[in-house]
Amino acid sequence: MKRWQFWVGIAISAIFLWLALRGLQLQDVWSALRQANYLWLLPGVAVYFIAVWARAWRWHYLLRPIKSIPTRTMFPIVAIGYMGNNIYPARAGELLRAYVLRRNEGVSISSSLATIIVERAFDGVVMLSFVFLNLREVAGLTAASRFAGSIRDLAIWGTALFFGAVVVFLLMAIFPKPATRVISWSVERLVPMRWREGVLGFADRFVGGLASLRSPADVGMVLLTSIVIWLLETGKYWFVMHAFPFEVSFFTLMLMNGVVNLATTIPSAPGYIGTFDAPGIAVLEAYGVKGEMAAGYTLLLHAALWLPITLLGAYYMARASLNWKQVQEEIAQEQAT
């Protein structure tokens, strides 16, 4: 609450919410929500938790060169991490799950963070593939969407970012010694003397955390699992859509999934308020869905994505007798050491 980054995120979320809802009749948005068939949320939530289990399996797979941990052990930690992303700023849930894994299984935070960043890079690649599958169709849309014209730019910049990250991680994994030498050279010239030892230690463990990318078969398995995860999540979009009286294709929902998740990389308030909703509504409007109906669907979908995993993660965190202040204090002590 005291940091300027928090308030910048709040301001960005407020701007995106204004962009999402401007010009809409809010009473019609409420009417769409009131008349929705909420039973369709049940299969949607179920398929989403299957996707979370697949995420736990993927993380277990990435961590195998460091330590083999069963997927059933990873699942509560993943749930805690996603809860943290939903309620704490700056995607603090990623650090939270790395901390919990260290606390429970003894895996260093830096090695865990390496695998988590690899996950995010592969997620980005899959999201971009969802966008590119529909890019030609998007270019031909003539609906008056406030964001449809920016989808191509988003795809181009996103491609440069995520494919670039994957290439860098692959090179670091395949050539760990040259990567370590480059990092050491950079640290010696850019980092103050009192921090060099700690930064070099972190970097060494980080490179070790990329070991799962040294095998082409492992890279292919991580990519395949990432595709399955995001197809399952799109399945949730499809189920929730049936709660409303409109229909678009599964490919359109893949595009929406790709666009909104790329947009949530923009700093915002906890829970991706606004940055999820504005582009989601815009994509549906571009495909001819009435704005108020698109807003009702997107807001309900956002809540259905946010609430179940947040409650489950909070349950697991309480069961582990953890609190965020305790985590911050312990990490701060480690940094001071």
Question: How many Cβ atoms sit within 10 Å of the Cβ of residue 332?
Answer: 10
| pLDDT (average), residues 165-192 | 84
Asked whether 213 and 169 are in contact (CB, 8 A), the reply is yes
Task: Give the DSSP per-residue string, 100-155.
Answer: HHHHHH---HHHHHHHHHHHHHHHHHHHHHHHHHTHHHHHT--S--SSGGGHHHHH
> What is the DSSP secondary structure assignment for residue 22, as one 8-state letter?
T
Long-range CB pairs of 163-172 (<8 Å, 24+ gap) are 163/125, 163/128, 165/117, 165/121, 165/124, 166/121, 166/122, 166/125, 169/117, 169/118, 169/121, 169/210, 169/213, 170/213, 170/219, 172/207, 172/210
Tokens 């259905």 sit on residue = 304
Selection from 147-151, 182-186, 240-244, 326-330 with the highest mean pLDDT = 240-244
pLDDT at 313: 95
pLDDT at 139: 62
Q: Which residue has the higher pLDDT, 334 or 52?
A: 52
Long-range CB pairs of 94-100 (<8 Å, 24+ gap) are 94/120, 95/327, 95/331, 96/324, 96/327, 99/327, 99/330, 99/331, 100/320, 100/322
Phi, psi of 61 (to 5 degrees): -65, -45
pLDDT at 2: 54
Phi, psi of 223 (to 5 degrees): -65, -45
Band of pLDDT at residue 334, cut at 50, 70 and 90: low
Q: Is the pLDDT of residue 142 over 50?
A: no
Calpha distance 159→329 (Å, rounded): 37
Q: Which residue has the higher pLDDT, 208 or 273?
A: 273
Cα dihedral 208→212→213→219 (10° resolution): -170
Q: Where are the alpha helices (DSSP H) in the chain?
A: 4-21, 26-34, 41-63, 71-87, 92-105, 109-133, 135-139, 151-174, 176-190, 193-208, 216-241, 250-263, 277-286, 291-319, 324-336
Q: Is the pLDDT of residue 152 over 80?
A: no
Residues of the chain with pLDDT > 70, as a percent, come to: 90
Asked whether 84 and 327 are in contact (CB, 8 A), the reply is no
Question: Tell me: the pLDDT tens digits for 243-279?
Answer: 999 999 999 999 899 889 888 888 888 889 999 999 8
Asked whether 30 and 290 are in contact (CB, 8 A), the reply is no
| pLDDT (average), residues 119-124 | 88
Name, in order, each residue with C-beta under 8 angstroms of 74's C-beta and a sequence gap of 6 or more. Answer: 56, 57, 59, 60
> What is the DSSP secondary structure assignment for residue 40, as one 8-state letter?
G
Q: Which residue has the higher pLDDT, 266 or 5?
A: 266
What is the average pLDDT score of the chain? Answer: 86
pLDDT at 143: 45
Calpha distance 50→313 (Å, rounded): 15
Calpha distance 25→106 (Å, rounded): 53
Q: Is the pLDDT of residue 144 over 50?
A: no
Asked whether 140 and 275 are in contact (CB, 8 A), the reply is no
Here the tokens at position 304 are 């259905």
